[in-house]
Amino acid sequence: MKPSAIALALHTLLAIRQPAFLWGPPGVGKSQVVAQVAAALDMELADVRAVLLDPVDLRGIPRFDDSGATVWCPPAFLPRRGRGILFLDELNAAPPLVQAACYQLILDRRLGEYHLPEGWTVLAAGNRESDRAVTHRMPSALANRMVHLDFEPDLDDWLAWAEEDGIDPRIRAFLRFRPKLLHAFDPRAEDKAFPSPRSWAFASRILKAAPGADAAPGLLRGAVGPGAAAELLGFLDICQRMPDPDTVLADPGGVHLPEDPAVICALCESVARKASDETMPGLAVLAARLPVEFGVLLMRDAAAVRPSVVETEAFRGWACANSDVLV
């Protein structure tokens, strides 16, 4: 399931307080989706790294009450009130005894004398055994206590998130051109770094820090791996030779258009950021000159940057002229 479908599924599961487990390779954004869903529903999020726990940590420590009986003091990370998500991240990386300690919490919503508040739901996540990450086989008794959702990265979902999160537009344009590099994880590879939604965010922060020409290649290789870094560096070199967006909009009907699809993709990304009701006539002229797939890309990005442009005469005229590819 792509991230947007996972989010919708979690809305349903949280409404009925059904525990669930998100399975996926490293770096695809499992924990980010859980955090986004919690924020969207105005719920608290208690993020517990199960791999860091000992079996006794969930139960707490014993003490004597006033009558001399032993009672247990549950740990502070377990919620006491309100509504929210108790997120057991990396649950299947935890030792089997820790996983076993979660049985009662996940199914019965209690641990000894502790009761999970009514408004809370348990969610968990972890890598697959095939990813060669640190995992322990999940006991069937625990697995049967949850709904299991398989997480797969999706370019359109990631681009929508990247726009909101301020990911460098050059990286967004590059991944439109090379979508298979959004997540290219090979558990058999020797390279420690590899392209993933998480590592592209690292690369974006590196580019925004403006490292020198000598440092940038090594930093990008360390973020997304040597192959993806080499392609990105080549794309960045192309972007430097690309026409300035203001120059393009000053003469959208006469400016020379590049032939390289990678350059066109980068041009669409940069020009779309100039979208407004005033620039839409020029954008429509430019879109009409581009190959149809890039014209659609330009206008879709423009509408994402400034939704009001879809009400302009220029956008409507372009949409009518291209209705056959928009349906």
The verdict on 196 and 288 lying in the same domain is no
Cα dihedral 87, 88, 90, 93, rounded to 10, equals -170
The verdict on 51 and 27 lying in the same domain is yes
The verdict on 12 and 118 lying in the same domain is yes
The verdict on 90 and 130 lying in the same domain is yes
Amino acid at 165: D
The verdict on 142 and 160 lying in the same domain is no
Distance CA 30, CA 194 (A): 17
Structural domains in the chain (count):
3
The verdict on 286 and 231 lying in the same domain is no
Nearest to 195 by CA among 226, 233, 151: 226
Q: Which of 221, 240, 259 is the last residue in one of the domains?
A: 240
pLDDT at 224 over 60: yes
Residue 232 contacts residue 171 (beta carbons within 8 Å):
yes
Span 61-88, mean pLDDT? 84
- More confidently predicted of 78 and 190: 78
- Which residues is 115 bridged to in the sheet? 110
Point out the least confidently predicted range of 15-29, 63-77, 167-181.
63-77
- pLDDT grade, residue 3 (50/70/90)? very high
Span 246-257, mean pLDDT? 88
The verdict on 43 and 64 lying in the same domain is yes
pLDDT at 134 over 70: no
Q: Which of 150, 178, 206 is the last residue in one of the domains?
A: 150
Please give the pLDDT value at position 131.
58
pTM (2 d.p.): 0.76
Task: Tell me what the pLDDT averaged over the chain comes to.
Answer: 87
Q: Which of 150, 178, 203 is the last residue in one of the domains?
A: 150
Span 151-171, mean pLDDT? 89
> For residue 181, what are the domain limits?
155-240
The verdict on 182 and 257 lying in the same domain is no
Tens-digit pLDDT profile for residues 235-244:
888 887 777 8
The verdict on 144 and 188 lying in the same domain is no
Please give the pLDDT value at position 13.
95
Span 308-315, mean pLDDT? 91
Please give the pLDDT value at position 122.
93
The verdict on 116 and 206 lying in the same domain is no
Please give the pLDDT value at position 117.
92
Residue 50 contacts residue 124 (beta carbons within 8 Å):
yes
The CATH number covering residue 131 comes to 3.40.50.300
The verdict on 197 and 176 lying in the same domain is yes
The fraction of the chain above a pLDDT of 70, given in percent, is: 96
The verdict on 65 and 140 lying in the same domain is yes
